[in-house]
Structure formats: structure tokens, C-alpha cells
A and B are shown apart, each in its own frame.
Chain A
Amino acid sequence: MSDTTETPVAGRGATVIREIMSGGATRALLSVVAGFIIGAIFMVFSSEEFLAAAQYFTSRPTDALGAAWTAIAEGYSALFRGSIYNYNADNFEASIRPMTETLRFAGPLIASGLGVALAFRVGLFNIGASGQLLFGALWATWISTRVELPWGLHLVVAVLVAILGAAAYGAIVGFLKARTGAHEVIVTIMLNYIAAGILTFFFRTPELLREVDGGGTPKSDAPAETAQLPLLLGPEFTLHAGFILAIVGVFVYWWLMERSTLGFRFRMVGHNADAARTAGINVERMFVLAMAASGAFVGLAAANQALGVRAGLTPDIDGSIGFDAITVALLGSSTAPGVLLAGLLFGAFKAGAPQMQVIGLAPEITGVVQGFIVLFIAAPPLVRAIFRLPPPQKTTVIADWWHKLTTRGGAK
């Protein structure tokens, strides 16, 4: 392309701008914007006022346009009220509660998103987050309802067991891939169903994990108080320590992938497995370790789901987290800060649901927005075409500058 052979006249400033515009962060941001725009279109066409006004659009177009604007403004302000700050609330607690709800929903999304992201970086596609979450939650529930331990220790053991359970379930995938070459996508899909069956069996059988005086429906007891993740902001808010777990996960993920030897090996296998093998890395072992690590992060989400509740668990505790995790990892481009932000965004979508319900807009609209965001993320050429972004640049002005800044004037 002629873009790369730029004239010197364009100068350094233009190069920087072009680098920013072609970068992944810009693309992610624009994908989100595009997703919201399409969500707005859906809102407009599901607004009855707009459809009524559109009947006489040619005679009085302002009516229809006004109705369209109202629909969009009401929809997104409801989302804002439900997920960030409720400016209509009576007291302070109620007005900031939405933000805490967003954090609560974001916890498991961030954690499981990290798991899927880790697998992505190793060139593996873990769509088994749902199964790993269920399997981790199963053992965590066993600890939290059937084992008695002192305060403090109980919670630690339960969280560790959730992580170990999910990691073990993930390791099975890596093992099968390494030993037989079976593709992880198929294996994880099957293991998702198998985990769901096992969990339901445990929750249905009285001698195992079923509610002590429950009926025929599969449901477990509520976790013992000593094993519950403590509330962070007092009884007024439902936000619990699971979010802290997720944040710790973000730091661990960053350190593991960007700073540790193991992470370096992971990334090497992800870039080029053959080259990694030639360099003396045991690729098969990396598959097993990577899937176990991926499962371990999902295990944090399992702890969130199993120990962050005050009531009994049902077999659908994974909700849609397993698949949302994929969208979180995609949007976050598998980096620690990216996953954190993407998890917060999708957490906000979940938190905003009740407020949207109130104004008569189906909260499922956020699913539409989410779907389009990841569609744009998955297809970089599409976003570049829509927003006329420059193609990926070969120049490294920003990286050089950053390098200079961080190495105190110039070891380069």
C-alpha cells in the first residue's frame, strides 16, 4: 500500500497519529462505538412511538426523529442508571449501588475472560470455560456445604478447591490434545455437557450435595457462612470479595504472561509451535500447563459463583459466563488491562438489565450490542473499512518513545 511509503513532509506527528489509528486499542474502541450504534438502531425500531410516528414520516418527519432520539436516550440512560450512577435515586447508597453491581457482575467475567485469554495466547481456543466453572463450583460447593472448618480457613480452602477443580478439568483438555491430537474445541464442548450432567447429578442426589430438605429439583444448600466470600461494603451492597479475587487474577495474569519464563514459553508456543519445539520447548507439556492455568483463572470465576451467594446453588450457576468469557477475551485482545476493561463493560451490561426492564426495553438489547462488538472485533478489516482506518503500520514511533521513556535515555 502507498501508506507505508509516506513522504517526509507528513512528519512524525502524522506517523504517530496513523500508528494510533491503526492500533488495536483504537479498533477496540471503535468496535464498541459501532456496537452501541447498532444497539441504538435496534432500540429505535422496537420503540412503539417511533413506529407510530414513522407511519406519517413524510408529512412530519420531526415526530419520527424525535421519537427515535427519545428511544435511544431513554435506553442508554437506563443502562447508565442501572450500571454506573443512578441519578434518580433518593439516597447516596441507592445512587452508587449500580456501580457496585457492575463490579459484582464483572468479577466472574474478568476471571473467566482471563482464562480464555490465556488459552488464546497459547494458540488454544478454550470454549470450555462453562464446564471448568461448573466443575470448580461443584467441589467448592462440596467444601462449603459438607465440610466444617474454622472461620477464614474454610473460605481459603473453598477458593483453592474451586481453582484446583477448574484447573484439573482444564488440564484434561490439554492432556487429551497433547496425547491424541484431539482438537480442544470439540473436547471442551463435550466436557461442558459432561460437567453439567455431573453437577446436576450431585445436586439431585440427597447423599451428595442436594439441599438437606429440598425436593426433587436439583439444588444445593447455601454455602456455610464461614465459606462465603465476605461482603465488601457492608450489608447494603451485594458486592463481595469475589471482585478482589478477579483483580488479583488480573495482576497474576499480567505477571505470568508478560514477566515469567512460563508465560514466555506460552507465548512462544502460541506464536509458532514448531519454532518453539525447535527451541527445545516441550510443546505438549505447555498445552497441558496452559489449559490447567486457563482453568485456574476460570476457577476464580467458579469461586465467585459458588461462594459469592447467600442462597443455594442450581445447576445453571454458570449462566452465560462461559461464552461471555470468550467475548471478554476477544474484546480485551487477551491482555490483562484489556480483559479488565472488557469485563467491566460486559458487567455493566448485566447490571443495567433491571433499569432497562423498568422503562419497557428488553434488557436483552445488551446481548445485541455485545454480539456486534465482538463481530467487529473478530473482523478487523470490517472495522477498518467502516471507519476508514489506515492498515496496520510498520513504524514503531510510539514504541520507541516508550522505550526511551522507560530506559532513561537510550540504551537502544
Chain B
Amino acid sequence: MNTVVTPGLFSQLDASVSKKTPYLMGAFSVFVLVAFGFLGKTETVAFQWTKEDDAINLPDFLVASNLVGLVLGTVLVAITVVSFVLAQRKRVTPLWLTLIFGLLAVVALLAWLAAGNTLPFAFILGNAVVLAVPLALGAMGGIMSERVGVVNIAIEGQLLTGAFLAAVVGSLTDNLYLGLIVAMIGAALLSMVLAVFSIQYLVDQIIVGVVLNVLVLGITNFLYAQWLSNDGQNSNFPGTFPIIPIPGLSAIPVIGPALFEARITTYLAYVIIPVLWFILFKTRLGLRARSVGEHPLAADTVGINVALTRFWWVTFGGLVAGLGGAALTIGAVGAFGRNMSGGQGFIALAVVILGRWHPFSAAAAALLFGFSIVLRVWANQVSPGIPTDFITIVPYVVTLIAVVGFVGRVRAPAATGKPYIKG
């Protein structure tokens, strides 16, 4: 058996509470306070909470840009102090506090960017959600696969498969729901290849994943160039799902239109994320899956079929990732484009880690990446002088920092990446 086994994919830090988080927070707080506060711009920012056609219209909130920086910077300093105190008492800074910290820092950045301009809050949030859906669903697929111990680098290929099949089948049959289902099945089949190769043939999981990405990219590129670009009207013109406002919820100011006036793909994500959390952490099924991912030998000993558990979780993970792919085409822009996923599968992989293999945190991380994409586009429009390329790389740097281990403990399921040989 000459199998190359890649060592555990993710960093594993010792359990002691380090002060890295508060230190990092401190650095960020001081930066916000100084750069956006003391040295900030004095022009006013108009926080535009609602769009004109919303049910409830809130008036714009006008405030000086540097005042926002000062106030939020102070709050950030306060959170840093709390974090320090917690670390002193050997307690980890809770995730929600870190999230609030990040959110406030982003708002301060927005206010600085939009000095002398309007800040269309609802617009940014709404677009961030749409962009986050494929990432979040891809990440859910990744979580399902990695929780049972199979590294899924092939998320990129699954997204691409889903995007392609959804657009093509949706166009040819004129039925978007059929396109959605075929996209999910196609991506699940791709996942099965990953599962069989890594579980049955014990091929290195990362290599299989990369190879599948190359394969799907090759096939979709060819079919797109040979077929879709010539016959686009018939085969690549699916349209998109209608936008369905949820009565009542969509009338909530600010977040209502952003979250509850969406397409079915987004709503499916709202359902899948909590359901996955529930299954993983509250049911026997999830416990078994996690035990397979953490300690396959122990799971095997108590009678769980490790290979079969891994196979089905990886396959169903593909189903979810395929939905994410469909969200790229028929859930957002319609037609399929060459290399449509464009690396989003790798971002989803980052989202899995940043979200610490937890559905809710991963969804939040996906939203962060969604934000950063919108921000890049929007910042380019309001203040062209800003080096938007640096805004682009911020999420990647954050992920890198998280992986390297400065933000709390990032710990993968222990058996991730290791094949299990029943002996």
C-alpha cells in the first residue's frame, strides 16, 4: 500500500489561552482611532439606511466622518480591554465579541471611505448577502466533508459543476427548479468520485481534490467555448429565480430588504445552515459523523461504519455545494460564464477554517467575504483614490492570520486528511 498521506491540513495550537487576540484587537483599535478618528476626514457621511421603495423609510443619518471614527474607535478600545481582562482570567474571548469587533471596525472603515458621500447601507448589505450565499453553501459542503475527516479541496469544482449544470439544464428544459436539482446531483456525483478515491483507493485527498478541480475546469471551459458561446440563446439563457419578498419580515427596516427580499437559493441557505448545525451538534447522526472525523478507530470500535459514513457525508456535502454553484448562475446573474466560480471554492475553503468548522461561524465568515467584494466595487466608485487592491486582500490576510493561529484556536477535526484503514 504506497499511499501518500498528507499530514493534518490545519494548524493545531496548544490549549493555553494566549494574549494574541487582545493584542491584535488593540492594534486594530488604535489604528481605527488614529487613522479614521484623529486623522480622519471632517466631511459628513450620510448613512442611508433604507432604499426609497422600502416599506418603512428611515431618514438618512448625517454625521462627520471623523466623529464616527472617534466613537467607534473608543468602543473598540473598550472591547479590547474586555478581551484583555478575559485573557488575564484565562478565558477565551467569545466569538460573538470578536464578530462585533470586526463589524464595528468595518463600519468605521465604511464611514471613512464615504466621507462627503452617501453610505448606502441597505444596498451594501443586500449585495453582500447575495455574494455570500454561494460561499456559505460551498463552505457547508466543505464542513460536511471535513467533519467526517475528508479534506474537500474540490469545492471549487463542485461550485463550477453546479453553476454550469444549473444554467444549461435550466435553459434547455426551461425549468429552473429542474436545473437546480440537476446541479445538486451533478456536484454530488463529483463528490462521490472524491469519496471513492479517498476512501476506497486511499489516494491523497488533496491531490484528488485539485485534480477534480482541473478536470471540471477543463470540461466546462471546453463545453462553454464549443457549445454555449455559439448556441447561447438556447443553452445558456436560463434567467434567474424570481425575487420573493417574505411578507412581514421584508418590511423590517434596514435588514428586512437585505435579508428577506431574496431568491429561493438564498432562502435555502437560510434553511440549510441551521439544519446542518442541528444535525451536526444535536442529533445522533451528527455525533456519529463527528466521531468519525475526530477518531475513526474509536468510532469503528463502537460499530460505526467509518467508510460508509464518510462516503455519504461527502456525497451530501456535494449536494449542498452544488446548490451553491446554482446560486452563482440562476440564483444571481443567470447565464454561465467561463470559469464562473473563479476561485470562490477556495474562498469557501477559507470560510470553513475561519468559521472553525461550525455552520454559523462559517456563515458569518462568508458574509465577511461577501462584504469585502461589495466594498471593493463600491469603494472604487465613491473614492477612486483608495487602493482597492488592498481592500481586496484584507479577507485573505485575515484568513491567513486565523490559520497561522493568532485569532483564538483554530482546530480541525482531528482525523481530517487521514485515510482510515480498517485493520
Number of chain A residues close to chain B: CB under 8 A: 50
The distance from the CB of A36 to the nearest CB of chain B, in whole angstroms, is 13
Q: Provide the B1-44 mask, 1 if CB < 8 A to any CB of A, else 0.
A: 01010111111110000000000000000000000000000000
Say which size band chain B's interface belongs to: 35 or more
Q: Provide the B316-359 mask, 1 if CB < 8 A to any CB of A, else 0.
A: 00000000000000000000000000010010011001000000
Given known A-B contacts A46-B227, A189-B349, A180 and B215 have beta carbons under 8 A apart: no
For chain A, what secondary structure do more than half of its interface residues adopt (helix, strand, loop), or is it mixed?
helix
**Residue from B214, B397, B404 in contact with A327 in the complex, judged by beta carbons closer than 8 Å:** B214
Could you tell me the distance between the alpha carbons of A266 and B349 in the complex, rounded to whole angstroms? 29
Could you tell me the distance between the alpha carbons of A360 and B401 in the complex, rounded to whole angstroms? 48
A194 touches B403 (CB 8 A): no
A378 touches B207 (CB 8 A): yes
B222 touches A362 (CB 8 A): yes
B9 touches A379 (CB 8 A): no
Could you tell me the distance between the alpha carbons of A186 and B397 in the complex, rounded to whole angstroms? 12
Could you tell me the distance between the alpha carbons of A381 and B203 in the complex, rounded to whole angstroms? 9
A-B contact count (CB 8 A): 147
Q: Kindly list chain B residues whose C-beta atoms are within 8 Å of the C-beta of A196.
A: 393
**Residue from A123, A176, A197, A371 in contact with B389 in the complex, judged by beta carbons closer than 8 Å:** A197
Q: Kindly list chain A residues whose C-beta atoms are within 8 Å of the C-beta of B226.
A: 46, 361-362, 364-365
B218 touches A181 (CB 8 A): no
Q: Provide the A351-371 mask, 1 if CB < 8 A to any CB of B, else 0.
A: 000000000011111011111
Q: Kindly list chain A residues whose C-beta atoms are within 8 Å of the C-beta of B11.
A: 180-183
Q: In this assembly, does B304 line the interface, its C-beta being within 8 Å of a C-beta of chain A? A: no
Those of A167-215 within 8 Å (CB) of chain B: 176, 180-183, 185-187, 189-191, 193-194, 196-198, 200-201, 204-205
Q: In this assembly, does B116 line the interface, its C-beta being within 8 Å of a C-beta of chain A? A: no
**Residue from A273, A326, A369 in contact with B210 in the complex, judged by beta carbons closer than 8 Å:** A326
Q: In this assembly, does B221 line the interface, its C-beta being within 8 Å of a C-beta of chain A? A: yes
**Residue from B207, B225, B343, B392 in contact with A330 in the complex, judged by beta carbons closer than 8 Å:** B207
Q: Kindly list chain A residues whose C-beta atoms are within 8 Å of the C-beta of B405.
A: 180-182
Could you tell me the distance between the alpha carbons of A204 and B400 in the complex, rounded to whole angstroms? 25
Q: Provide the A371-384 mask, 1 if CB < 8 A to any CB of B, else 0.
A: 11011011111100
Q: Provide the B220-239 mask, 1 if CB < 8 A to any CB of A, else 0.
A: 01101111000000000000
Q: In this assembly, does A42 line the interface, its C-beta being within 8 Å of a C-beta of chain B? A: yes
B214 touches A374 (CB 8 A): yes
B208 touches A183 (CB 8 A): no
A368 touches B400 (CB 8 A): no
A193 touches B221 (CB 8 A): no
Best-buried of B9, B222, B387 by chain A (most CB within 10 Å): B222
Q: Kindly list chain B residues whose C-beta atoms are within 8 Å of the C-beta of A186.
A: 9-10, 349-350, 353, 399, 403
Q: Provide the B39-55 mask, 1 if CB < 8 A to any CB of A, else 0.
A: 00000000000000000
Q: Kindly list chain B residues whose C-beta atoms are within 8 Å of the C-beta of A127.
A: 210
Could you tell me the distance between the alpha carbons of A367 and B2 in the complex, rounded to whole angstroms? 29
The distance from the CB of B189 to the nearest CB of chain A, in whole angstroms, is 14
B219 touches A182 (CB 8 A): no
**Residue from A182, A326, A374 in contact with B404 in the complex, judged by beta carbons closer than 8 Å:** A182
Q: In this assembly, does A125 line the interface, its C-beta being within 8 Å of a C-beta of chain B? A: yes
A197 touches B403 (CB 8 A): no
B218 touches A183 (CB 8 A): no
The distance from the CB of B413 to the nearest CB of chain A, in whole angstroms, is 13
Q: In this assembly, does B197 line the interface, its C-beta being within 8 Å of a C-beta of chain A? A: yes
B12 touches A125 (CB 8 A): no
B396 touches A370 (CB 8 A): no
B206 touches A378 (CB 8 A): no
The distance from the CB of B123 to the nearest CB of chain A, in whole angstroms, is 24
Q: In this assembly, does A323 line the interface, its C-beta being within 8 Å of a C-beta of chain B? A: yes
Q: Kindly list chain B residues whose C-beta atoms are within 8 Å of the C-beta of A390.
A: none
In the complex, the chain A residue whose C-beta lies closest to that of B204 is A378
Q: In this assembly, does B96 line the interface, its C-beta being within 8 Å of a C-beta of chain A? A: no
B215 touches A371 (CB 8 A): yes
Q: In this assembly, does A312 line the interface, its C-beta being within 8 Å of a C-beta of chain B? A: no
Q: Provide the A320-340 mask, 1 if CB < 8 A to any CB of B, else 0.
A: 000100110010000000000
Given known A-B contacts A193-B396, A379-B203, A364 and B403 have beta carbons under 8 A apart: no
In the complex, the chain A residue whose C-beta lies closest to that of B397 is A194
Given known A-B contacts A189-B350, A190-B350, A197-B390, A364 and B225 have beta carbons under 8 A apart: yes
Could you tell me the distance between the alpha carbons of A391 and B48 in the complex, rounded to whole angstroms? 68
In the complex, the chain A residue whose C-beta lies closest to that of B412 is A183
Q: In this assembly, does B217 line the interface, its C-beta being within 8 Å of a C-beta of chain A? A: yes
A187 touches B389 (CB 8 A): no
**Residue from B4, B203, B219, B350 in contact with A371 in the complex, judged by beta carbons closer than 8 Å:** B219
Q: In this assembly, does B211 line the interface, its C-beta being within 8 Å of a C-beta of chain A? A: yes
A–B complex contacts, Cβ < 8 Å, 7 sampled: A196-B393, A330-B211, A364-B225, A365-B222, A368-B222, A371-B211, A378-B208
Residues of B within 8 A of A (CB): 2, 4, 6-13, 153, 197, 201, 203-204, 206-208, 210-219, 221-222, 224-227, 343, 346, 349-350, 353, 387, 389-390, 392-393, 396-397, 399-400, 403-405
| Ranked 8 nearest A-B pairs via Cβ | A367-B218, A371-B215, A362-B225, A197-B393, A371-B218, A362-B226, A201-B389, A364-B222
Task: Known A-B contacts: A182-B10, A201-B387. Give 9 more (CB < 8 A).
Answer: A123-B7, A180-B13, A181-B405, A189-B350, A196-B393, A205-B387, A368-B218, A378-B211, A380-B201
